[in-house]
Structure 1
Amino acid sequence: MIEGKLVRLRALRADDVDAQVRWRNDPEVVHWATGGDPLFGPVTREAVAHFHEVRLRDDPRAQQTFTVEDLADGRAIGMVDYRDLDSFAGRATVGITIGERDRWGGGYGSEALRLLLDHLFGALRLHRVELDTWSGNERALRAFRAVGFVEEGRRRESVRVGDEWYDGVEFGLLREEWTSRG
């Protein structure tokens, strides 16, 4: 368990399934998290339960998903994860979704991401962390930059959202950049 001022990151539990089903079936959450990718919803309770089983069975050093829990009321409000861990290169990819809309814009996601980065650069001693989003997701772009990520590239018009095309935006953060932020 990793705790901040607003949220804690904790292991997945069986009682998280219902919240995740709700988030994955909320069109607005899916829109901002994935650009509306139809592969991400709607989902069944059985599919999410299977996801939990796979995550709990897989090697936790290769990927890890944490539930983001609001410290004020103990409610699960989202998820953060790392995956594609390459220990030799000291690199991983991260992702974040705050599924409870009433927690959007309140700093919960930024703190959750900071806590995950502290863990990855500290406990796991990674050299580099990566993530990506789409250019229409302005809230995510601002949050990633505010946490310290640097935009490293764009894949022009590589993400389709509805009938429009957006750039895929790639970010990176190095340990020395993270630790120098003080």
Structure 2
Amino acid sequence: MTKRNIFLRSNRLYFEPLEEKHINPYYINWLNSSKITQYNSHGVFPNTKNKTLQYIQAIQEDSNTIVLAIFEQLSNVHIGNIAIQNIDFLNSTCEISILLGNRDYWSNGYGYEAFHEVIQHCFTKLNLNKVSAGTTSDNIGMQKVAKKLGMILEGTRRSEIQRDSRYFDIYLYGLLKNEYKKPKQKIVASIEARMTSSRLPGKVLKKINNIPSLELMINRVKRSKKLDEIIIATTTNKEDDSIIKWCKTNKIKYYRGSEDNVYKRVLNTHIVNNSDIIVELTGDCPLLDPMLIDQAIECYLNNDYEYVSNCIEETYPLGMAVEVFSLEALKTIADNRKLNNTDKEHVSPFFYTSNQYKTYNIVAPKNLFYPELSVTLDTIEDFKIIEKIDNYFDNDDYKIKDIIAVAKKNPQWLLINKDIHRKGLK
């Protein structure tokens, strides 16, 4: 396997310095394709392997040019190149251009994502004050990307490009460092769910008072005020086809991944979904209070912690676990180390066991401190107490304080599952 030389990384992409190893027949075909090169200067003269090698050697010796190969993370497919060129350190300016050669990846936001990542590098690492880009008047897609990035149309070079016996203008865009605004971070909750639980098979679709457990949980999670999306992270096991069918019927987003490597499943769920901040939930928490989700997100956003949860030390009732971290942080768990079984099964313990991250555990206030109550759905005994609690209320909009109140009012319910051994981390 070719060793990666990653220079930059975004949610769905990574970038390597363009090198000889990237040259192959597919790459040469990009440069000679009239469709792919219709909006740039490639494709005018034939490109060969030798000419491309000469180009790479030239840019490697040019201190005012950086050319990066763009790769899609999940497939490790080289999908295009992006260049920072004409870097002027005296005046703190540069120009950016892009070539997306793999047409399978067109119209999926990859161009915008690549530009965004490289512009950030120009402003924060190269300490430039202005980035510029140009495109032809008929390249509507690039014009939309420029506007979405907040770039200003600064001028027009009239009839600058001739193509197919027609002349086209070049639009010149610019963006100053003090004009650049980072896009709003996309906060996404993933719910890990599968049908093959050893102690309670099919539990995520088992009906609690005529509503599937997963539906009850999603109805409650949807009341979060800070989540942008919810996505079900299930497996490729045929047993989980029923979860997919339910998701499609209820118009819930889903991703299918590894059954055994939950870390990889959760990671890929959020790469595909282009998430920025991950709220990790498990499908065995049907009574989870959305207030706890918002509390953890707010704690994460308002501080410089890399990992926030309320379950490093259990102080709330079991079944109220929320974990918040960035997609970028999750990727680092697998950087320069081999995943162990704990990583693969539980996803995030490395955050709080390695002493390499800034972490914070939210402790329940006195009125919500009740770890002796377990409403996590692992066994039939858990199901019985969850159903009793849910049946007590007229709708599913009850809060954690209401759950605790009804449990304290009916202390005999706690005896139902008090002797259940939990299989989680110690």
How has the CA–CA distance of structure 1 residues 23 and 37 changed in structure 2, closer, same or farther, with 3 Å as cutoff? closer
Aligned to 2:282: none
2:78 to 76, 79, 83: 76
Alignment length (residue pairs)? 177
TM, length-normalised to structure 1: 0.91
* 2:32 maps to 1:25: yes
Q: Using the TM superposition, give the Cα deviation of residue 23 of structure 1 relative to its aligned residue in structure 2, in angstroms.
A: 0.8
Aligned to 2:54: 50
Q: How high is the sequence identity, in percent, across the aligned residues?
A: 21
Aligned to 2:19: 13
Partner of 1:172, secondary structure, is strand
Report the Cα distance in structure 1 between the residues aligned to 2:173 and 2:155, rounded to whole angstroms.
7
Aligned to 2:179: 177
* 2:102 maps to 1:93: no
Q: Using the TM superposition, give the Cα deviation of residue 141 of structure 1 relative to its aligned residue in structure 2, in angstroms.
A: 0.8
Between Structure 1 and Structure 2, which shows a larger proportion of strand residues? 1
What are the ranges of 5 or more consecutive residues in structure 2 without an aligned counterpart? Answer: 1-6, 185-426
Q: Using the TM superposition, give the Cα deviation of residue 181 of structure 1 relative to its aligned residue in structure 2, in angstroms.
A: 5.7
RMSD (Å) for aligned C-alpha atoms: 1.6
How has the CA–CA distance of structure 1 residues 4 and 181 changed in structure 2, closer, same or farther, with 3 Å as cutoff? closer
RCO greater where, 1 or 2, for CA within 8 Å and sep 6 or more?
Answer: 1
Report the Cα distance in structure 1 between the residues aligned to 2:85 and 2:29, rounded to whole angstroms.
23
1:157 to 156, 159, 162: 159
Deviations 1:35-65 (A, max 9, x none): x761xx4201110011111122222xx1110
Report the Cα distance in structure 1 between the residues aligned to 2:182 and 2:118, rounded to whole angstroms.
17
Q: Does structure 2 retain, via aligned residues, the 8 Å contact 1:37–1:161? A: no
The one-letter code of the counterpart of 1:11 is: P
Report the Cα distance in structure 1 between the residues aligned to 2:173 and 2:127, rounded to whole angstroms.
19
- Between 1:5-14 and 1:126-135, the stretch displaced more is 5-14
Q: Using the TM superposition, give the Cα deviation of residue 109 of structure 1 relative to its aligned residue in structure 2, in angstroms.
A: 1.0
Aligned to 1:146: 148
Moved over 2 A (4+): 179-182
Deviations 1:130-159 (A, max 9, x none): 111110111111111112211111112221
* 2:127 maps to 1:120: no
- Between 1:172-181 and 1:49-58, the stretch displaced more is 172-181
2:109 to 107, 110, 119: 107
The one-letter code of the counterpart of 2:112 is: S
Report the Cα distance in structure 2 between the residues aligned to 1:173 and 1:93, rounded to whole angstroms.
10
The one-letter code of the counterpart of 1:107 is: G
What are the ranges of 5 or more consecutive residues in structure 1 without an aligned counterpart? Answer: none
Partner of 2:170, secondary structure, is strand
